[in-house]
Amino acid sequence: ARTTFQSNLSDRQMEFEVLPVEGKYKGMYTRRVYQLEIHLAQQPRRVFVNGMKTGDFTYEGGVLKVSLPQSEVHEKAAVRVAF
């Protein structure tokens, strides 16, 4: 199985996505939680996890720390940060 990650950055926001898993294998987890540490030049104004605004993150020393749950590995999960 293979998992692809992608990110996009603009002046106003940053988005990080975990794309759906391609393939499968015996014993594969059906859900995951990613602990992200994202280096940012600006402090975030708002953080969204899977489309929902969250306050459950930290930003210290230019590093945003946030959990990204993927409730089903065959579905996309995303963090969006507004500056």
- Alpha-carbon distance of 4 to 58, in angstroms, equals 25
Residues lower than pLDDT 70 in the chain: none
Query: What pLDDT, on the 0 to 100 scale, is given for residue 43?
Result: 95
Query: What pLDDT, on the 0 to 100 scale, is given for residue 6?
Result: 98
The predicted-structure confidence for 38-59, as pLDDT tens digits, reads as follows: 999 999 999 999 999 999 999 9
Query: What pLDDT, on the 0 to 100 scale, is given for residue 20?
Result: 98
Query: What pLDDT, on the 0 to 100 scale, is given for residue 48?
Result: 98
- Alpha-carbon distance of 59 to 66, in angstroms, equals 9
